[in-house]
């Protein structure tokens, strides 16, 4: 039976450190603020934004919320971002994805000042990450690395297989694991014979969004299995991994919910504090 990787527990411990850091900054006269832009009425996005604001509250970070209707134009959103870029109360800006198809996502991401880009999606931050000196790294992949480190799961020299090549999870995660000296294989929807590849993984990460994608026969005995997928089903939220059967084979496994999700929010708060320090010329 595998050991459970408890994302809630690790996120709590990270959030405690962040809260202490915010207090220290407050004592130096620095307040930390995060602005979240929400466009449209996607119910899941509304829940995510509410959770982010609530987490800010518990950590002493001031949150600013900007809601736009489905009919909003790219121009309106860009103008709001410009104001936030120049607002000294705001250290971090994020625009909740997905955006309605009418909005120019690339323009929105590029409008956010790189030093306030706490999602780490701006091309300047992506480039820095690729070059190995990134400061604001994408939240879900950096949360996953923190989970592995917390449980002392060795990354160096291991075979890591990442399934899913999105800009927000799969691609940056492959880069970060490679920086930590794993041998990385990045799989996607056109990968042929996925099972033959996943069987080689010491660390297997699924970021696809397909219930039941990873069955026990695809997992090497003792492997670490990280499930990023979020699928809404009649049974509630489930990941990509068949948890019951895979947990009999894996060495470590994350649950859904309560695995990667809480780390994503905690990493966002971590980035916001980091951004505040960068903007105040402090060491990070």
Q: Could you list the residues that contact ligand NAD (CB under 6 A)?
A: 140, 163-166, 168-170, 187-189, 191, 194, 207-210, 228-230, 260-261, 264
Least distance to ligand NAD, CB of residue 198, Å:
10
Marked catalytic residue, from 15, 116, 117, 119? 119
Whether 12 sits among the annotated catalytic residues: the reply is: no
96 is catalytic: yes
For residue 196, the minimal CB distance to ligand NAD (Å) is: 13
CB of 96 to ligand NAD, least distance (A): 12
Nearer to ligand NAD, 115 or 168 (CB): 168
Given a contact cutoff of 8 angstroms between Cβ atoms, the answer to whether 161 and 199 are in contact is no
- Choose between 97 and 124: whose C-beta lies nearer to ligand NAD: 97
What six digits make up the tokens of 186?
A: 């990045």
Among residues 114 and 138, whose Cβ is nearest to ligand NAD?
Answer: 138
Nearer to ligand NAD among residue 189 and residue 221 (C-beta): 189
We find the least distance from the C-beta atom of residue 29 to ligand NAD, in angstroms, to be 33
Which alpha helices (H) appear in the chain, and where do they start and end?
7-27, 43-59, 74-85, 105-111, 123-131, 139-150, 170-179, 194-198, 243-246, 260-279
Minimal CB distance residue for ligand NAD: 209
Closest contact distance (angstroms) between CB of 244 and ligand NAD is: 19
Pick from 234, 194, 185: nearest CA to 211: 234
Say how many residues make up the chain. Answer: 284
Q: Which is nearer to ligand NAD, 204 or 260 (CB)?
A: 260
Euclidean distance between CA atoms 222 and 2, whole angstroms: 8
Q: List Cα–Cα distances, 46 to 40, 60, 81, 269, in angstroms.
A: 9, 21, 19, 18
Cis previous bond, 98, omega within 30: yes
119 is catalytic: yes
Please, what sign has the CA dihedral across residues 18, 21, 27, 31?
negative
Torsion 110-115-120-123 (CA) sign = positive
Residues acting as catalytic residues: 52, 96, 119
């Amino acid at each position: 039976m595998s050991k459970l990787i408890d994302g809630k527990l690790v996120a709590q411990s990270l959030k405690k450190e962040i809260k202490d850091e915010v207090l220290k900054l407050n004592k130096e006269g620095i307040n930390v603020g995060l602005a979240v832009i929400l466009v449209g009425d996607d119910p899941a996005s509304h829940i995510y934004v509410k959770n982010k604001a609530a987490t800010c509250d518990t950590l002493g970070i001031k949150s600013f919320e900007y809601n736009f209707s489905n009919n909003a134009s790219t121009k309106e959103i860009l103008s709001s971002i410009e104001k936030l870029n120049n607002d000294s109360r705001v250290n971090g800006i994020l625009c909740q994805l997905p955006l309605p198809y009418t909005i120019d996502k690339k323009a929105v991401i590029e409008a956010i000042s790189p030093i306030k880009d706490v999602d780490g999606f701006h091309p300047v931050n992506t480039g820095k990450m690729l070059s190995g000196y990134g400061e604001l790294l994408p939240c879900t992949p950096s949360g996953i690395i923190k989970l592995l480190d917390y449980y002392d799961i060795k990354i160096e020299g291991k075979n890591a297989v990442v399934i899913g090549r999105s800009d927000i999870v799969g691609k940056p995660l492959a880069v970060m694991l490679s920086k930590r000296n794993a041998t990385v294989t990045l799989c996607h929807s056109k990968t042929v014979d996925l099972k033959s590849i996943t069987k080689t993984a010491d660390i297997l990460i699924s970021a696809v969004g397909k219930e039941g994608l990873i069955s026990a026969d695809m997992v090497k005995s003792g492997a670490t299995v990280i499930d990023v997928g979020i699928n809404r089903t009649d049974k509630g939220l489930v990941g990509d991994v068949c948890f019951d059967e895979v947990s009999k084979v894996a060495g470590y496994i994350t649950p859904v919910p309560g695995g990667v999700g809480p780390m994503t929010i905690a990493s966002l708060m971590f980035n916001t504090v980091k951004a505040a320090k960068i903007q105040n010329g402090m060491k990070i």
